[in-house]
Amino acid sequence: MTAPSTWERVDQAAADIRRRSAALPDTAIVLGSGLGDFSDTLRDAIAAPYTELPHWPASNVVGHAGRLVIGNVAGRRVAALSGRVHFYEGYDLATVVFATRVMGRLGVRHLILTNAAGGINTALTQGALMIIDDHINLMGTSPLIGSNDDRFGPRFPDMSEVYSARLRNIADEAARTRGVAVSHGVYIAVQGPSYETPAEINFFRKMGADAIGMSTVPEAIAARHMGVEVLGISCITNAAAAVGHQPIVHDDVIATGRRVRSSFISLLEGIIERL
């Protein structure tokens, strides 16, 4: 028997979600390391572990709960993806962006990508929230490599505005109203899983990067390929090598995410109610 195509696997997962939730989301949020508590705030929610969803890859990183929650926020139906899978776990990028593809197939119009990131710009202190204005892809590959399925999007999608200016303005307005401090910057994605060397961080700063991480960019590319509007938010959970003076450990990343829980949730709620 021929293995199902990517489109068929995405379609099967989307059909399963439709059976679980009578009301479908128009907004989806991917919650990064230590930021998953937002999913617990959704009202009238249904939840499913990723392991119960057809073809869905398992999330195995500490700080990623690995479940899909669909519920209401500010009168809108929202899908919260509590955890993601990463390229460094050994998944190919088609698998890394599987959840993004499913959200697009469900008809999601807005995708908010959040992550825990290292601060390259010294003005970004631990716990800062950074709206992503643009990205630099240093992962060495793209989720669009290979044959293109026109049902997902065009062969050569435009990337001149990956992160929607409209959504960034909404995020700024929500931050002002809610009293949440935010900054803006460029996110650079690398493969990981080792943290970067001081020489690498100095190089990335010269390239114009403000924050660094190991996710988000493939999802943003896949979402734009499908015509989904994207907003990115980084929580600066640690100073990158050559910026701070302490070793970088994942436990500190998780702890910082939890420390900014209230302001992070407030910002997301403010954004959603303005969409």
Contact 194, 240 (CB under 8 A): no
- Give me the catalytic one of 59, 82, 183, 215: 215
- Give me the catalytic one of 13, 14, 33, 189: 33
- Give me the catalytic one of 89, 161, 200, 269: 89
Q: Which helix or strand (DSSP H or E) is residue 185 part of?
A: strand 182-189
Nearest to 32 by CA among 250, 215, 168: 215
- Give me the catalytic one of 13, 86, 164, 189: 86
Q: Is 266 a catalytic residue?
A: no
Contact 216, 93 (CB under 8 A): no
Q: Is 89 a catalytic residue?
A: yes
Q: Is 250 a catalytic residue?
A: yes
DSSP 200-267: HHHHHHHHT-SEEESSSHHHHHHHHHTT-EEEEEEEEEEEPTTTSSS---HHHHHHHHHHTHHHHHHH
Q: Is 139 a catalytic residue?
A: no
CB atoms within 10 A of CB 259: 15
- Give me the catalytic one of 94, 250, 255, 269: 250
Contact 263, 114 (CB under 8 A): no
Q: Is 33 a catalytic residue?
A: yes
Instruction: Please tell me the distance from the alpha carbon of residue 159 to that of residue 29, in angstroms, as a whole number.
Output: 20
- Give me the catalytic one of 116, 174, 189, 240: 116
Instruction: Please tell me the distance from the alpha carbon of residue 77 to that of residue 18, in angstroms, as a whole number.
Output: 13
Residues in the chain: 275
- Give me the catalytic one of 21, 47, 74, 88: 88
C-alpha angle 163-102-99 in degrees, rounded to nearest 5:
70
Q: Is 64 a catalytic residue?
A: yes
Contact 152, 158 (CB under 8 A): no
Q: Is 169 a catalytic residue?
A: no
Give the list of residues 6+ apart from residue 262 with CB closer than 8 angstroms, or none: none
Q: Is 215 a catalytic residue?
A: yes
Maximum separation of any 2 CA atoms in the chain, in Å: 57
Active site residues: 33, 64, 86, 88-89, 116, 214-215, 238, 250
